[in-house]
Structure formats: C-alpha cells, structure tokens
Amino acid sequence: MKASAALAPALRDASRLVARVAAGRSLSEELAAVPASGASRAALLDIAHGTLRRYGRVQAIVAALSKRRAPDPALEALLWCALYALESERYAEYTVVDQAVRACGLLERWSAKGYVNALLRNFARERRSLERRLEADPQARYQHPLWWIEIVRAAWPEAWQAALAAANVAPPMCLRVNRRRASADAYAARLAEAGIAGRRIGADGVLLEEPLPVQRLPGFAEGEVSVQDAGAQRAADCLELRDGQRVLDACAAPGGKAAHLLERSDIELTALDVDAARLARVAANLERLGLRARLEAVDAVQFAERHAERRFERVLLDAPCSGSGVARRHPDIKWLRRRSDLAGFAQRQGRLLDALWRLVAPGGKLLYVTCSIFPQENGDVIDAFVSRSPDARRAPLADGKPAQWLPDAEHDGFYYALIEKQA
C-alpha cells in the first residue's frame, strides 16, 4: 500500500478519459493523445483500465450511494475512478479520499468536495451491506453488460463465471521468441539471469510473472522477442505451414501472427490490411524482426476480387470481431458493444470467408481466427460457411486442442477453425 501526492492529477485525467468512454468514445483513441511514457501515464492507464473493467460495479455503487437527481458526468467518473483506487488496495483509504477531494478542484468542481468526501466515506462504512445488494445485480456482480452475461452463460454453462471473472483482471504478458535468432529455452534462461521471472509456454512462448515495459526485455530492439498473447500464438501451430508455400494473411495488423509465420517457415507471405496506418505498424514490426513480406493496404474482399486468378496454399483470416475475448485488454469493449453488433460482425465474417475461399488452392487450407468467445461469430459462422461451400470441410486443429479458448490466467479468449479445400 502506498501514498501518492500525484494521485489527484491521475484521478482527474482518468476520470476525464473514463467520462468520454462512457459517452461512447473509444479508449484506444483517447489514449493515443496521452504522452507515451512516464509515471503519470502509468497511473492513468492503471486507473482507467481498472475502472472500466469494474464499470458495472462502480456504477452500481455510486447509484446506490448518491442522492443527486441530475448526476454530473465528470463527478460520476471521478467517483468511479476513486472507488477503483480504493478497492485496488494500492493506496491507503485516507489517501484516496483526500486525493479525490483535491481532484474536484482540478476538475473545477470546487463545490462538490463535500459530496465526494461524504460518498467515499459512506462507501467505506456501508461496504458490507452494499456487497449484499451488489450480489443481486448481475451487471455489478460480474462487471459485464447483462446481454453479454446471458450469451456467455448459455454458451459455456460450466465455465461462464470463470470466463467473466478472467475478463475483469489485468491480462498476462506473454512473449514470443523469434526462433530465427534464439530458442525459447535459451531466452527464458536469459530472462532469469536478468532477474525477470517467467516460464515457458507453447512452442515459442515465455509467460512473465509480472508485466514490464518492453524496453526492459533483453534483445527486444534487436528483434529477438515480441509481445504476443499465448492464444494468438496458436495460429502458427494450427496453420500447418511448409517451406515454399504461398501464404495470405488477410487482416494482418498489427502483424504479430504474420511475423510468427515468417519466424517459423520460409514462406512467400502476402499481408493485407484495409488501414494503411495499421499496416505501417506491420512493416515496422517485420523490420525490427528482420523479416520480409509483401504488404498491401487493401480490403481483403476487394483484393480477392482483383486477384481472382491467384491461389495460396494457406490463408489466415484473423477476422474482425467483437473482441469479447480480449476485453480485459480493451475494457471499453464491454460497454461500447451491443448485442445487435454481433449480426453485423457475422455478416462481415461470412463475406470475408466467401471471398477468400476462392483464393485457396485445391488441397489448401484456410485458418479462421477471432478473438471472440461468442458462438454467433465463431462456430455459427463456420457451420454456415461449410454448409454453403461443397468443397469445404472442417479439418482437425494440429495442436489437438479445442477450437474455443476462453480467457484465463495464461491467455486471452480465441477461436480457431481450420477449413480444407478438397482437391
């Protein structure tokens, strides 16, 4: 537990950001304007992400304790952030209350100091009775929208609570070792020598005990290692690559899966992304790793239409989706998404499958991937595609593991389906 004189500015900045997200703005877009480094950014990221992960809970607490009929969005967001800081146990209770009151002044809400002080102190006094009330409110208890809870509970009746709980905590940090420059075992030993605790996971991964800035990773700048979730690293295991193959990565940004494929095999890779700025990140990642691919800033459907004569032995479709499997990394997703969005994603995913399937060579394979845990954009989409495609059949995944991974302490939530084209 620590005291911090800098907490008031962090609460001010985080509350402004959270208020904008609550009004419908994207967290990643808002964070793009925040300076890239420094203690103030670290505190802001912690409070903003932590508050949004607990959004259902902190909302319910303020609603239960506040007697104001016309809430001030800035003050509400400040209270949400202060409640997260209290419950994080990183600061003493008196520090959070004092710094939240100071933040009122920084937000030019001087008259609200007494209100903020009273509500936070009431929370501390009434916490036990409040907990009983929160237990009866699914959104407060599970810290997800009700529609989201209903879908996950129906899809995963034995694991839904664990999946929701995993989405409410900070994500793990996993590394992918560039096997062209080092072995995963050797790199894990190098981390240990540097005093960085981690353990091997998967073929090329090292799971760190605690996240840390990439600048502290030995060999990062030299391209020896990248940050990539263990769930995302499955793509290279499941695509069944062989040297010399023509491979298409249809939605490549930010480039982690494309780089992993190139680290694994000597392939001829074409990587697409509709967003030129995001594709520039792919280029930068490949350059750092000493890898090469043909990059094109184009929509994958348009690419398929323009190059109907081309054939690839392997196609990777990391399809646009709800992001429900990575909500702990992007906690605004839980509150910006709507149930109705899923039908739109499924339609887009179906169009991509239909277009890209024409580019798969006879006997070739397409790997469909999402970072979603919703069947509506996973198994349902694949079942519909296979049923309308006479030359398509589902093939077993090479790693022998289930198609759907739910988020847990080791990895995010991902879905994989491998489809083979009959020769």
Known catalytic residues are 371
Decide: 238 and 262 in contact? Cβ < 8 Å. no
- CA 195-197-203 angle, to 5 degrees, is 125
Cα separation of the two ends of the chain: 63
DSSP-H helix ranges across 23-72: 27-31, 39-53, 55-65
Count Cα neighbours of 402 within 13 Å in the Cβ-side half-sphere.
Answer: 8
Decide: 43 and 6 in contact? Cβ < 8 Å. yes
- The rounded distance, in Å, linking the Cα atoms of 293 and 85 is 45
Give the number of other CB atoms < 10 A from CB of residue 351: 13
In what helix (H) or strand (E) does residue 246 lie, and over which residues does it extend?
strand 246-249
- The rounded distance, in Å, linking the Cα atoms of 77 and 62 is 10
Give the number of other CB atoms < 10 A from CB of residue 308: 10
Query: What beta strand segments (E) does 274-327 contain?
Result: 294-297, 312-318
- The rounded distance, in Å, linking the Cα atoms of 258 and 235 is 9
Indicate the angle between helix axes 73-88 and 7-22, nearest 10 degrees. 120
Strand partners for 405: 414
Q: Which residues contact 203 (CB under 8 A, 6 or more apart)?
A: 184, 233, 236, 237
Decide: 80 and 59 in contact? Cβ < 8 Å. yes
Decide: 276 and 252 in contact? Cβ < 8 Å. no
- The rounded distance, in Å, linking the Cα atoms of 237 and 15 is 42
